[in-house]
Amino acid sequence: MSTTIFLYGTLRHVPLLEAVLGRAVDGLELAMARLDDHRPHHVRGRPFPVLTAAPGQGAEGLLVRGLDAGDVARLRFYEGEEDYELREVAVRDGGGRQHRAEAFFARAGRWQAGGPWSLEDWLRDWAEVSVMVAEEAMAHFGRLASAEVALLAPAMERRAAAVLAARARTSTAPARDVEMLARRRPYSRFFALDETDLRFRRFDGAMSPVQTRAALIAGEAAAVLPYDPRQDRVLLVQQFRAPLFMAGDPDPWLWEPVAGYVDAGESPDATARREAEEEAGLTLDVLDPAGGAYSSAGNSTEFVHLFIGIADFTTRAGGGGLDTEGEDIRSRSLPAAELFEALDRGRLRDMPLVALALWLGRHHERLRAAGSATG
C-alpha cells in the first residue's frame, strides 16, 4: 500500500528528498499542490519551516504519490519523531482538484514560529548544506534514534559548510589528478573521521600506488587574540583540553586565544565576536584580520580564520564559556611584551596563539598607534 504526502518545506527540493529517501524519485508521482488556510513559517533560529494556520492564505508544496513503508519511515526519521507528526490534509492540485494526503505538522510546543518562510531564500542560503547534512544524517538510519541524530545536527551543518567553503577557495596551482577509489566514515559525532583509498599524480607525472589515508573532518574555526592598545595588553583564555590529556601531556590546561567553530550560516567575523563575549566577556571594537590556515593539514580538515580583536578591557563583563557546552574557562590579561617574551622562549603551546603572537608582533606599533588615536 502506497502513501501520499504533501511536502511544503525543504523537502520540496528534489535533491534533498532523494538524499532522505536514499533513492531517485523516478518511480514516484510528483505534482505541485496547495494547502489552503495554512502558511509555512520559519522555526526561530533555524532554516526550516513549520506549518501554521493562516486563514485565507495558502501553502504551496509538492504532492508525492507512491511512497512505500520504507520511504515513510525514512521521512519520519529525517523530520524527527519527537518534532513532527503526520496528519491528514486535503490539498488542491493546479487544476483545482482535491486530493487526500498527509503532511508533517510540528508537535505541540516543539518549535516557536518566526516570520514567513521562503523556499527561494532557503535554496540560495541553505540547500547545499542541507543536502550534505541529510546524506550524513540518513547514514544513521536504523542505527540511532532520530533524537540522537538531532543533537548531532549543528556539528553536521558546520562540517558541510566547511566543505563548501573549502571548495570555494581559489588556487593558482595547476590541477593535479586524484582518483578516489573508496571512502568510508567509521565515526561521526562532534567530529567525523573519514578513511579513503586513493591515488594521486606524483610530481614525476606517474600515478602513486593506492594509499589509505584518514582525516578528521571538522568545521571551520575562528581564533581571535583580544588586544587593548590603550593598555598595550592582550587577553588569553585557559581551559582543559581532553586531547592533551589523552596524549599523556602532564598539563592539559592550555592557554589559548579566544576561539570557536563557525556555525553554518555564520561568518568567521561573527564567530570571533560571539566567542569573545562568551569566553572572555569582551565586546570587540575592531577586528584586524590576521590570515587563515589549515591547523594540521596532515590529519585534519580544520581551517582557522585568525584575528586580532581590538577591545577595551575595562569594559569586560561575564565570560567563562557556556554551561550548555560544558565549558569551564578562565582568562587573564598580560602585557603584550610578556606575550612576545613567552613566544621567544618557546612557552606558547597553542599553534593559533603562536601565529597570532607573531602577527601582533609584526603589526604591534600600527595597531597600538591606531587604537590609542581612537581612544
Q: Please report, in range form, the residues annotated as the binding site.
A: 259, 275, 279, 327
Task: Answer whether 88's CB lies under 8 Å from 100's CB.
Answer: yes
Paired with 1 in beta bridges are none
Helix (H) or strand (E) holding 271: helix 268-280
DSSP labels for 105-169?
EEPTTS--EEEE--HHHHHHHTHHHHHHHHHHHHTTTTTS-HHHHHHHHHHHHHHHHHHHHHHH-
Helix (H) or strand (E) holding 350: none
163: Cβ contacts below 8 Å, ≥ 6 apart = 132, 301
> What stretches of the chain adopt beta strand conformation (E)?
3-7, 29-43, 49-67, 84-93, 98-106, 113-116, 178-188, 192-200, 211-217, 221-228, 233-240, 253-256, 258-261, 286-294, 303-310, 330-335
Q: Which of 325, 338, 341, 365 is catalytic?
A: 325
Written as nine digits, the cell of 99 is 486530493
The gap between the terminal CA atoms of the chain, to the nearest Å, is: 73
Q: How far apart are CA 138 and CA 133, in angstroms?
A: 8
- Reply yes or no on whether 277 is catalytic: no
Paired with 34 in beta bridges are 60, 92
Task: Answer whether 92's CB lies under 8 Å from 98's CB.
Answer: yes
Burial class (CB in 10 A: 0-12, 13-18, 19+), 125: middle
Paired with 196 in beta bridges are 183, 213
Binding residues for Mg(2+): 259, 275, 279, 327
Q: What are the residue numbers of the active site?
A: 325
